[in-house]
Amino acid sequence: MKATLLTPSQERSLHASLLLFEKALRRADRLLSDEDEIGILYYRKSNLDIQSRELIQKEISNTLVELENFTEKLELSPTEESLESVIMAEMSISWESLEESRSKRMRGYGELSPQAAEIIDPAIDHFARIALGLSSIFTTETSHDKTE
């Protein structure tokens, strides 16, 4: 029988904080394991030597073990996250951000040339449609999964 150490509200709050911490640890570990990344609008590189990376990764690994023991002690259960829901949410956020990048909004940062607007608006329309379309695909997929 589970001894109730926390109220449901306390448990939700602690779970949310620990979940963010675990995700940050796991993301840091993945980033440290990856090579430098070159994107289109960004690049990511590390100046850490291999020994420093390994030391940090060992600390992360040890911390994850401690976190697991702590959550077991408090009987905090994991929650399932749907990959599709995560992607759908990210595409929705991207769509909203893209919509805020239209030329009429850009004018809030200063005068915008008509030539810039002619280049920006069609591209934003295109990318926003793609983001919304991808989000919709996952919306359709997750609703099919629930009906099956």
108 alpha carbon, distance to own chain's centre:
28
Maximal C-alpha separation, the chain: 69
Same-domain check for residues 63 and 91: no
Q: Is position 2 within any domain?
A: no
Domain count, the chain: 2
Return per-residue pLDDT of the chain as tens, 148 residues.
Answer: 456 789 999 999 999 999 999 999 999 999 999 888 899 999 999 999 999 999 999 999 999 999 999 999 999 999 999 999 999 999 999 999 999 999 999 988 999 999 999 999 999 999 999 999 999 887 765 555 555 5
pTM strictly above 0.85: no
Range of the domain at 52: 8-73
Residue 58 sits in the same domain as residue 94: no
Beta bridge partners of 43: 38
